[in-house]
């Protein structure tokens, strides 16, 4: 029997949607199945909700700067419930947009639960309970991820995960954020800018342990300046809920400390959403870190691919999309392959941290002869006129070829774009010196540090 579809995608997040669109553009017949909301974690619990709140808190915080440019704004107030309404509207827009992009490419979409029976057979269970089996040449797993909750901790109305945050309708007066990865740092920024007392607690010796050390140290100083209490190199021994508060017990420098707050937010990472029983039944290789794939995102079972958070590693929407596109190219004879080093990452704190390629420390550990160039926001006239504060850009070269870049400061998420292109194209210093960037712009910091 011939298969009905060329590709069935399970999961309608950024990875699954990107795979479905790319395959449809290749004139393939595609079915994508999503059990909850189109857009996945990114649209409903991750990227979009946090960025909506960060935009609101930034507007409010920036009002404090207006007096420096002779603008009087007395009596400024905010409504957290209205901010959450804005957040929900943005989630809805993102979800509708994700679904519309699939429909526009003539991808067949189904709201259902899916079970992989084999590489070429998938069972769908509709919300009304009706079930049917569809056949396919290829299957892509894009199940996504879920919060990683420490053992012996139970979430509640006072002990939350990042998945719970979109439903928080009352702003707490104080909060303990456990985990200073990008999720923890971003929420710390939101709450601090809205006047909440924030305790940011990290087990390791610095915040953002996967990012450039100098950038992480810079951001810690900025967060501290915003009034956030940052505690690193701590061991937390107990987190308990009381009737009107939460209490966190920690050890730091061999001393016991107790921190109290109205709520606690667990930002202790995310883990791949794995159906271990089904993976074992199908014979798909995997570990607790995720499904094992090659550079074409193929699993150990021919015909079955995986992309996005379910493969572990950096859990980023654009990474999931790039993996998914590489998977489709692998299925249908394309040339694209996935390279993790070309994936940029952004911490949307205020100020932002953005990186692409190798950090200085990672390059040295790989035995490279490293040459580092750095420039600061200080001399840049746009940074000064717009009251952007401190920041810097840093590029890492090996044998005159760019291997990585870091930007710490306002608009880092936008400034990293040309450097991401430079890293993926493996540009040389000579090629980058040929860039002509308009004056006056913040982007001028991208060239001044590689001249000479």
User: Which residues lie closer than 8 Å to 87 by C-beta, 6 or more apart?
Assistant: 48, 49, 52, 53, 56, 166
Is the distance from CB of 211 to CB of 359 less than 8 angstroms? yes
Q: Are the beta carbons of 448 and 371 closer than 8 angstroms?
A: no
Map residue 32 onto helix, strand or coil. Answer: strand
State the Cα–Cα distance between residues 427 and 330, nearest whole angstrom: 27
Structure tokens at 148: 């990683």
Integer Cα distance of 394 and 389 in angstroms? 17
Which residues are CB-neighbours of 187 under 8 A, at least 6 positions away?
A: 50, 162, 165, 177, 265, 267
Please count the other Cβ atoms lying within 10 Å of the Cβ belonging to residue 451: 10
Distance, in Å, from the CA atom of 429 to the CA atom of 402, rounded to the nearest integer, reads: 7
DSSP 37-73: -TTHHHHHTSHHHHHHHHHHHHHHHHGGGGGGGT---
Pairing of strands 197-201, 304-306: unpaired
Measure Cα distances from 378 to 209, 255, 389 in Å: 26, 40, 8
- Annotated catalytic residue, options 138, 318, 350, 439: 439
**Three-state secondary structure along 97-154?**
HHHHHHHHCCCEEEECEEEEEECCEEEEECCCCCEEEEEEEEEEECCCEEECCCCCCC
Say whether 398 is catalytic: no
Active site residues: 439
């Amino acid at each position: 029997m011939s298969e009905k579809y060329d590709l069935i995608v399970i999961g309608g997040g950024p990875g699954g949607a990107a795979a479905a669109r790319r395959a449809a553009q290749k004139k393939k017949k595609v079915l994508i199945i999503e059990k909850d909301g189109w857009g996945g974690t990114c649209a409903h619990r991750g990227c979009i909700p946090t960025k909506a709140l960060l935009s609101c808190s930034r507007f409010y915080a920036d009002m404090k700067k207006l007096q420096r440019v002779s603008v009087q704004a007395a009596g400024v107030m905010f409504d957290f419930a209205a901010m959450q309404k804005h957040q929900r509207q943005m989630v809805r827009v993102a979800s509708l947009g994700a679904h519309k992009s699939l429909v526009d490419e003539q991808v067949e979409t189904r709201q259902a639960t899916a079970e992989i029976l084999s590489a070429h057979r998938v069972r769908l269970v509709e919300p009304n309970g009706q079930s049917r089996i569809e056949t396919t040449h290829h299957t892509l797993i894009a199940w996504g991820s879920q919060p990683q909750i420490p053992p012996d901790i139970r979430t509640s109305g006072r002990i939350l995960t990042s998945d719970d945050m979109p439903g928080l309708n009352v702003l707490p007066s104080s909060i303990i954020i456990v985990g200073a990865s990008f999720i923890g740092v971003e929420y710390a920024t939101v709450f601090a800018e809205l006047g909440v007392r924030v305790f940011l607690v990290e087990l390791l010796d610095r915040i953002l342990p996967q990012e450039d050390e100098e950038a992480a140290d810079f951001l810690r100083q900025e967060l501290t300046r915003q009034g956030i209490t940052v505690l690193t190199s701590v061991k937390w021994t107990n987190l308990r809920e009381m009737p009107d508060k939460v209490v966190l017990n920690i050890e730091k420098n061999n001393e016991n400390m107790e921190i109290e707050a109205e709520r606690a937010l667990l930002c202790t990472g995310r883990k791949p959403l794995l159906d271990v029983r089904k993976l074992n039944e199908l014979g798909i290789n995997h570990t607790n870190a995720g499904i094992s794939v090659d550079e074409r995102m193929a699993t150990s079972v021919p015909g079955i691919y995986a992309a996005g958070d379910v493969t572990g590693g950096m859990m980023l929407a654009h990474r999931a999309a790039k993996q998914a596109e590489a998977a489709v190219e692998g299925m249908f004879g394309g040339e694209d392959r996935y390279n993790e080093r070309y994936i940029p990452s952004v911490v949307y704190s205020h100020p932002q941290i953005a990186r692409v390629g190798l950090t200085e420390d990672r390059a040295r550990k790989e035995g490279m002869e490293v040459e580092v160039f750095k420039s600061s926001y200080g001399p840049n006239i746009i940074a000064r006129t717009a009251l952007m504060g401190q920041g810097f850009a840093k590029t890492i070269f090996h044998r005159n070829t760019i291997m990585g870049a870091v930007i710490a400061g306002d608009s880092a998420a936008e400034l990293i774009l040309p450097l991401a292109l430079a890293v993926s194209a493996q540009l040389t210093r000579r090629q980058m010196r040929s860039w002509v960037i308009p004056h006056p712009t913040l982007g001028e910091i991208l060239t001044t540090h590689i001249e000479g």
